[in-house]
Amino acid sequence: MRHSQVIELSLTRRYNPATMSIMRKDNKPHDSTTPDTMMTRREAVAVGTAAAVAATAVRSVAAKTSATGTPPVAVASKNGLEAVRRAVERMEAGISPVEAAVQGVAVVEADPEDTSVGYGGLPNSEGVVQLDACCMDGPTMRAGAVAALEGYMHPAQVAYEIMRRTTRVLLVGEGAARFANSLGFPEENLLTERARKIWLYWKGQMSGIDDWIAPPDLVEDPDVQRFIKKNGPVRPTGTINLCAVDGKQDIGGTTTTSGLAFKIPGRVGDSPLIGAGLFVDNEVGAAGSTGRGESVIQISGAHTVVELMRAGQSPRDACLGALDRLVRATRVPYLLDSDGRPNFNVQFYAVNRAGEATGAAIWAGSKYSFCRGGEEARLMECASLYPTIAPWKKDLK
């Protein structure tokens, strides 16, 4: 069998991203117990040969990565410690940075303990979990995104498939859900019991003249108390952004979120918007954000950070420069405190082609996750515009 036939045969069995099963040409899962799906000896030899070729390619990538002397790097928001570790591990195995980033954040998307992303994310004002995400590939400048996606735990993976399988970038709402369903992603109820209790507490606190109250047993519930102590009167925004660069200096990134807690149904922040919640350019670097999405959108935040790096600034200075521009663009009274400063926070994260990475925030006290190949993942202090902790955070434990 010729080499071209081996490659063609290996590509006829598609990979199902949701079920992790091999797919036949007729789109049915491969079942070794069904006679018409059994591989012939010739096919088995061919697939084995293709696997050997792929393994050699992976080893070649690893060798090339090592030869550059630049280990892969991943930077993410504070909740991405395990995500950056996994992303670096995947890049070391030869996977592209954008795919490694998407696989990294899947850990957080599936974690019910994180109420800002994926499964367990806090719902909108009607109690429905709506997810947003995007991803972008530096070498090709291609991107994919979903917004207001309901019922699917891994919006970053759906965004990746939009990038990989279509000529479009952004799908929203029911259209995004239909696309996910067409690829076999499992539909699930994403509202956990913890998130439901927090939502009911929020409804009970909304007004003294509506029909809802928060009974004492709900207020005293451990999950609700933890939410109150962590966030105080401020609605959490959450999100995870992860940007990565491999040993060949290829770059990719992703941002995924359940959005502003208790948001207006259909509200979309910066996370799924290319140029706002994420931007990647293989010639320069990548950047992403967490925090008040509307403010990030108004200055095209991630794109601004990358353009400042293009102009020669370090990732740290570029993040601080974008934050300064954001603060100067915040002019409406309801977004300012008594001293004229933003009454919210935004964090930017960035990495350049050389693997220099950082995080920066408006207010002091934020952290970011960082991992470099051959090192342990760790939390690091963000740089900040203001040297003090945000006023609404000072009384929180």
pLDDT digits (tens, 9 = 90+) for 269-282: 999 999 999 999 99
CATH class of the region 71-190+232-393: alpha beta
- For the segment 129-145, the average pLDDT, to the nearest whole number, is 98
Cβ atoms within 10 Å, residue 312: 8
Place of tokens 């991943």: 74
**319: which residues sit within 8 A by CB, 6+ positions away?**
287, 305, 348, 349, 350, 358, 359, 360, 383
CA dihedral 198, 199, 204, 207 (to 10 degrees): 120
How is the chain split into domains, by residue range? 3-62, 71-190+232-393
Confidence of residue 21 (pLDDT cuts 50, 70, 90): very low
Q: Which of 70, 115, 192, 239 is an active site residue?
A: 239
Contact 359, 368 (CB under 8 A): yes
Between strands 251-257 and 14-15, the pairing is unpaired
Q: Which residue has the higher pLDDT, 360 or 233?
A: 360
Per-residue model confidence as pLDDT tens digits over 65-113: 444 578 999 999 999 999 999 999 999 999 999 999 999 999 999 999 9
Q: What is the per-residue pLDDT for 395? A: 64
Q: State the Cα torsion 55-61-67-71 to the nearest 10°.
A: -110
- The Cα–Cα gap between 278 and 361 comes to 16
Res. 139: pLDDT tops 70 = yes
342: nearest Cα among 352, 354, 332, 351: 332
Percent of the chain at pLDDT above 70? 82
pLDDT bin (cut points 50, 70, 90) of residue 393 is confident
- Report phi then psi at 241, rounded to 5: -110, 140
- In this prediction the pTM is 0.82
Known active-site residue 239? yes
Q: What is the pLDDT of residue 37?
A: 37
In this prediction, residues 134-158 reach a mean pLDDT of: 98
Instruction: Say what the pLDDT of residue 56 is.
Output: 41
Rounded Cα distance between 218 and 199, Å, is: 11
Question: Residue 397: is its pLDDT beyond 70?
Answer: no
For residue range 368-382, what is the model confidence (pLDDT) as tens digits? 999 999 999 999 999
